[in-house]
Amino acid sequence: MAPLIQSTQPWVEKYRPRRVKDVAHQDEVVRVLTNTLETTNCPHMLFYGPPGTGKTTTALAIAHQLYGYTYSYVSKRLFGID
């Protein structure tokens, strides 16, 4: 029997939505962002709200949708301490 390979990736990263339509409980936001991504006009965006509401997840889903797996080459993640 082959040994069980454990992923070092945290569960929240492993199952983070990769597309805007997969973001849960934000129907209006998903609708607006989907319409924006379907046009050629993608404005600068600022996400705000309390911790845990999906701001980073939504921004990463947009980057994944626009740039595929090369998104890390064209984006930068900033944290409050940066």
* Run means of pLDDT, 10 residues per run, the chain, 82 residues: 68 87 88 87 86 89 85 70 53
24/14 Cα distance (integer angstroms): 16
Residue 46 lies in a domain: no
What pLDDT does residue 25 have? Answer: 86
For residue 22, the enclosing domain spans 15-39+51-74
Residue 24 lies in a domain: yes
What pLDDT does residue 1 have? Answer: 54
Residue 6 lies in a domain: no
What pLDDT does residue 31 have? Answer: 93
Residue 7 lies in a domain: no
Q: Per-residue b/e over 29-62, b at no fewer than 16 CB within 10 Å? A: ebeebeeebeeeeeeeeeeeeeeeebeebbebbb
What pLDDT does residue 50 have? Answer: 93
Residue 1 lies in a domain: no
Residue 2 lies in a domain: no
What pLDDT does residue 73 have? Answer: 75
Residue 82 lies in a domain: no
Residue 28 lies in a domain: yes
Q: Is the whole-model pTM more than 0.75?
A: no
Number of structural domains in the chain: 1
What pLDDT does residue 68 have? Answer: 83
